[in-house]
Structure 1
Amino acid sequence: MKRQYMLFVIVLLFCMDTSAQQKEYSGKMHVTMLSLQQEGDSVYVKLTFDISGVNVDSRRSISLVPALVAASDRLYLPEVVVKGRENYNVYRRETALMSSREKAAYAAEAPYAVVPGFKSGNSRTIAYSVAVKYSSWMADAKLDMYEDLCGCGNPARRMGITMLANRITLEKIIEPYEITPSMAYVQPVAEPVKRREITGEAFLDFVVNKTDIRPDYMNNPQELKKVTGLVAGIKDDPDVTVRTINVIGYASPEGLLSNNQRLSESRAKALTDYLASRFDYPRSLYKVAFGGENWDGLKECVEASQMPYRKEVLEVIGSFPAECGYAAQVRRKKTLMNLKGGEPYRYIIREFCPLLRKAICKIDFDVRNFSIEQAKEVFKSRPQNLSLNEMFLLANTCEKGSQEFIDLFETAVRLYPNDVTANLNAAAAALSRRDTVYAKRYLSRIEESIDIPEYHNTMGVLEILCGNYDKAASHLNKAAESGLPEAKQNLEEMAKKQENAILIGQQQSKKQ
């Protein structure tokens, strides 16, 4: 009897629970999965919720929670909440009374949608679209839908679980193809004798019509230090043999040419005597010369200035040749002296002429040749003593594309900025690390008429990296026809790059 009573109570409770659940809402909620797909670094979930004909108990709400579920990981997605009448009105009042800060905090964790679950005669569908960051565990994840009951001040109760998809559709991502450029370098011509020169200039101050140097007069201490420092630097270099020390005097254009020549030569000789007294080079190494009246220097001064009648002064300098002859020189000078009543000429005498009276010290010297091992040490302290060929051979001992490799070619072009081979090799080294900015700078110093395979190969790689495939093909085909293997490799790389671009375009079109 007792056992029968207990069984009756259990059946009664079950019936009461079933009756309560039936009262929580009526109708059927339909959730349709449209897509569950990984694209790039994201997973896209698209669903449709149809709650037409659903009526939720007035004080309750139903939460529909999609979730990505794997064996050891789970990610809940934003929920869709369907509320009964009284529950929905409370929600509306609470959100309406929120402050701006409270609304911002709520928005950070708000449901995907909150919709009324009453008036079942209305058609209600919700388009659900969410993207989340892809993680590797999601490759084996399924998509479940949890149905939770909330309300009446009680904790949420799970009413059911439905599997919407058993696996994410994984996308095969087509990554942009990065070409591997094949660069070709030109070996510079070896120099049997490395002849070099170095030049410094000094603007020495002399007492009027005097030619002797006073080391402590006006700016002479600083100017003399520039010249002595130049000679001392060469003197202290054990790898250098001096051939000639040329001291050239220049005069400003005012006054008589004969007097200017006499003063300039005497002042140049005074500087020679000053250097000879401080360095033990044989006097036979010194050569004194008159550089002439410094019209080129005057032109540079005028061009860089905002002097009165600047344009007219430049026209006079450019119209009359500076021939070596008193009559011709007077002709130019006389024209300047008479220009605009002599105002610009007086400005020139005052502002520019002191800068035009200068002495140039030009040292011609030879540098000995070095083996590879010697060149390694010289490059660390005196790279200017290496020839282009020595730096090229030294670069070939480094790994291609390494920082040491690139540094050698960049040092070479810095020391020999006008050399075609130095600029071409520096451009190739820059492109080996995909640096198109520096490559363009070096290549701009080379005449476009140059027709050697290495130039066309370098230009071809530059055009590929800039996306100009037609121009790249033109250059690379020229280099390939000359038998340069690097050009053929770059043509193959360009074909792979173009094919890859087509595939990426097709993939993007499908997404749209």
Structure 2
Amino acid sequence: MNIFRLSILSSLFLFCSLSLLAQDFRGAFHIEHKEFREENDSIHIRFRLQVDSRAVPSCSFMIFEPELTDDNQNRFVFPYIQLTGEERANLNRRWFAICSEKWLSEYETPYLQINVGRYAGDTLEYAFSIPHEEWMDDARLVLKQEAYDCAGELHLYTYTLANRVDMSAREPYAVKPLLAIVAPEDKAKTRSRQGSAFLDFQVNRTNIQTDFRRNPVELGKINEAMLDVMGNSDARITGLFIEGYASPEGGYTNNERLAQGRAVALKDYMRNRYALSDRIFTVRSVAEDWEGLKTRVESNQSLPQRSEILAIIDSNDAPDVKERRLKGLSVYSRLLRDIFPELRRVEYQIDYAVRSYDNIEAKTLAESNPEDLSQAELYRVAESYGKDSPEYMHIITETIPKYYGDDAVALNNAAALLIENNELNTAYRLLDKVRDIPVVWNNLGVVYLLQGNLDEAEKYLSQAHQAGVSEASHNQSELAAKRADEVKRARKR
């Protein structure tokens, strides 16, 4: 019993015991419909106390106090019930009328208080809930009775209502993570248009004849690329890179001259045709394209003497020595006919910048020419549709990764939406490519959390939290709740 409450009750007895006559307890009480259960992280107790009218003499009172207790001395005492006889109730009212304010401030009011009638019994419904704690899973629910007779003597009894809490069926805790999505930075938009021209030149000549053999077709490819870029009023050419290649046929010195001269010839053709400044050109050459030869031989599984050719290419011999060794192979004529012509080419790259667009312009281009938009412009278009729209999902998960597939922010944002859509494996593959930025650590942690790999989730969420990712703190709380839920579920099993 609460020691302070005992002292208060003793005061009541000192006040009124002289006017009371000794009287025996008669009658009985009954406890029915006992309930002791856990649900929604709370402990709920409920019982019905039926008291016979003769159980509490007119000059006495009883207290019933529910209590949780276990073998490790953990204890929780619930609010008490007080049953008071008729004469005792009158005396108590007189006491409360004259007692001090200090006494009243320290008095613990009963949860239920009934003045028991002389001729009729009472039925009390007691219900109370408290937050669940782990030790309560092994606790007993007891009801302590304190009966004070008319002479002021205290009689104590304890009744066990339940030996163990009834644990409710528990669904696994469903985590509610926060995903980190980053708005891309505005950057200068640079684009490139690349191609190869297999131009035909007269023997040992470097000048371009526009109507010679297949040159009209090859030059037409270059002209088409240039007109596409120059016809875009929003684009500005910033550089032209040209690289000439010769095949490993003939002397190395002569091939070096041919490769360089043919690259310069294409540069002069483009500069004169389109009135371009000489400053935007970069010209290089590869005298003999042994790397190109190796790539084509490796990819041709049916080529005879393939291993011998590759051994010659990979040797440390001088280029002219390698050529003589190739000529000694029976397959050399096939190399001359089928592979060497593919090595004689000029590769080009057109670099250009595209102006920035406002959101209205960008919204139109997102449908017709998304390649002209920066990642930031595409992101703003997506946001303009609203985050719950199919357009937002399409732009973030498909359009942006298509044109910015190597960008960490692009892949992270796409993965975040895929996680929300429960496409965890696809999201993981995207995040696995760009593990070096903090927001990715947060989202990887969420993937592991949703998959139930709590140790990996903890590692990545901790890294993200230390790096200052705000969402990681919430996700660490969700991780802790998931761990606690698993412990509870294991205890129940």
Q: TM-score, normalised by structure 2?
A: 0.57
Equivalent of residue 225 in structure 2, options 215, 224, 230: 230
Amino acid at match of 1:349: L
Secondary structure of the structure 1 residue equivalent to 2:422: coil
Which residue does 1:302 correspond to in 2? 297
Aligned residues of 1:336 and 1:345 also touching (Cα < 8 A): no
Deviation at 1:301, TM superposition (A): 0.9
Count residues in correspondence.
324
Aligned residues of 2:251 and 2:320 also touching (Cα < 8 A): no
The C-alpha deviation readout for 1:163-214, integer Å capped at 9, x for no partner, is xxxxxxxxx98666654442112344432x4333221112233454454556
Equivalent of residue 197 in structure 2, options 186, 198, 202: 202
Amino acid at match of 1:472: A
Q: Kindly tell me: are residues 467 and 260 of structure 1, through their superposed partners in 2, closer, same or farther at Cα, counting changes over 3 Å?
A: same
Amino acid at match of 1:368: R
- For residues 502 and 398 of structure 1, the distance between their equivalents in structure 2, rounded to whole angstroms, comes to 43
Equivalent runs, 1:291-440 vs 2, <5 Å: 291-306=286-301, 307-320=303-316, 331-335=318-322, 337-338=324-325, 341-400=328-387, 402-409=389-396, 410-440=398-428
Amino acid at match of 2:190: R
Amino acid at match of 1:246: F
The C-alpha deviation readout for 1:294-344, integer Å capped at 9, x for no partner, is 222112112212233434433443343xxxxxxxxx713413532694235
Deviation at 1:476, TM superposition (A): 1.2
Equivalent of residue 462 in structure 1, options 447, 455, 458: 447
Aligned residues of 2:194 and 2:349 also touching (Cα < 8 A): yes
Aligned residues of 2:249 and 2:323 also touching (Cα < 8 A): no
- For residues 301 and 250 of structure 1, the distance between their equivalents in structure 2, rounded to whole angstroms, comes to 15
- For residues 401 and 470 of structure 1, the distance between their equivalents in structure 2, rounded to whole angstroms, comes to 32
- For residues 248 and 399 of structure 1, the distance between their equivalents in structure 2, rounded to whole angstroms, comes to 47
Q: Kindly tell me: are residues 235 and 218 of structure 1, through their superposed partners in 2, closer, same or farther at Cα, counting changes over 3 Å?
A: same
- For residues 367 and 407 of structure 1, the distance between their equivalents in structure 2, rounded to whole angstroms, comes to 23
Aligned residues of 1:313 and 1:336 also touching (Cα < 8 A): no
Deviation at 1:242, TM superposition (A): 0.9
Secondary structure of the structure 1 residue equivalent to 2:417: helix
**Higher alpha-carbon deviation: 468-477 or 417-426:** 417-426
Q: Would you say 1:186 and 2:182 are equivalent positions? A: yes
Amino acid at match of 1:262: R
Equivalent runs, 1:111-150 vs 2, <5 Å: none
- For residues 388 and 492 of structure 1, the distance between their equivalents in structure 2, rounded to whole angstroms, comes to 33
Which residue does 2:459 correspond to in 1? 474
Secondary structure of the structure 1 residue equivalent to 2:329: helix
**Higher alpha-carbon deviation: 497-506 or 457-466:** 497-506
- For residues 311 and 440 of structure 1, the distance between their equivalents in structure 2, rounded to whole angstroms, comes to 40
Q: TM-score, normalised by structure 1?
A: 0.55
Q: Kindly tell me: are residues 345 and 428 of structure 1, through their superposed partners in 2, closer, same or farther at Cα, counting changes over 3 Å?
A: farther
Aligned residues of 1:181 and 1:432 also touching (Cα < 8 A): no
Equivalent of residue 489 in structure 1, options 445, 470, 474: 474
Amino acid at match of 2:445: G
- After superposition, the CA RMSD in angstroms is 3.4
Which residue does 2:242 correspond to in 1? 247
Which residue does 2:49 correspond to in 1? none
Percent of aligned positions that are identical: 35
User: Unaligned stretches of 5+ in structure 1?
Assistant: 1-171, 321-329
- For residues 360 and 447 of structure 2, the distance between their equivalents in structure 1, rounded to whole angstroms, comes to 34
The C-alpha deviation readout for 1:84-114, integer Å capped at 9, x for no partner, is xxxxxxxxxxxxxxxxxxxxxxxxxxxxxxx
Q: Kindly tell me: are residues 462 and 229 of structure 1, through their superposed partners in 2, closer, same or farther at Cα, counting changes over 3 Å?
A: farther
Secondary structure of the structure 1 residue equivalent to 2:242: strand
